[in-house]
Amino acid sequence: MTARAPSRRRPAASPAGQADLFAPPPPDVARAASTATPLPATLPDVADDLWERLSRSRFRARFHLDAKDRAYLQRQGLRSVSEHAADFIATRLAPAHPHKDGRQTPWRGHPVFVAQHATGTCCRGCIEKWHGFAKGHELQQAQRDYILAVIRGWLLREDPGTHE
């Protein structure tokens, strides 16, 4: 299973395309979203091998969404939660030397935090180990997009019924 651009994997439910992640958000979502970190038009594929490797890590595999996380995901929708993820990536991970690196991602309190621990995208050390992006260098846009694709991919695998 790969994390493709949802516009291809999940056809829009209406001709207006409102179920499409990459369609313009309705005004209420646009207002709540960070304007500093817009979602990319497409996301890279995530190799199946990553999910296999993560499943073999007892530490990573024990992370799961709890009832509160699932309720939040249902309420907010995947698009909004993905915007939060893009914001966390930009502010907490992308700098060459992030603030409090290694401790910048809480264990709980947001579904994206859980997804980050589950996927080795919680800090620059884990990102280097699991995804090969060297510490000490600012993350490039393609790397940020990949991390976002991994987080979204995990959320969709964890809660396949989630909607945009």
Binding site for Zn ion (CB under 5 A): 122-123, 126
Catalogue the E-assigned strands of 94-162.
Answer: none
- Between 82 and 116, CB nearer to Zn ion: 116
The Cα angle at residue 145 between residues 141 and 150, in degrees rounded to 5: 150
- Between 1 and 134, CB nearer to Zn ion: 134
| Beta carbons of 19 and 69 less than 8 angstroms apart | no
Least spacing, CB of residue 77 vs Zn ion, in Å = 27
Least spacing, CB of residue 118 vs Zn ion, in Å = 11
- Between 76 and 116, CB nearer to Zn ion: 116
- Between 78 and 155, CB nearer to Zn ion: 155
| Beta carbons of 149 and 43 less than 8 angstroms apart | yes
- Between 43 and 123, CB nearer to Zn ion: 123
Name 130's Cβ contacts closer than 8 Å, sequence gap at least 6. 50, 53, 54, 119, 120, 121
Distance between CA 90 and CA 36 in Å, rounded?
Answer: 9
| Beta carbons of 148 and 41 less than 8 angstroms apart | no
Least spacing, CB of residue 14 vs Zn ion, in Å = 40
Least spacing, CB of residue 127 vs Zn ion, in Å = 8
CA-only gyration radius of the chain, Å: 15
Least spacing, CB of residue 53 vs Zn ion, in Å = 15
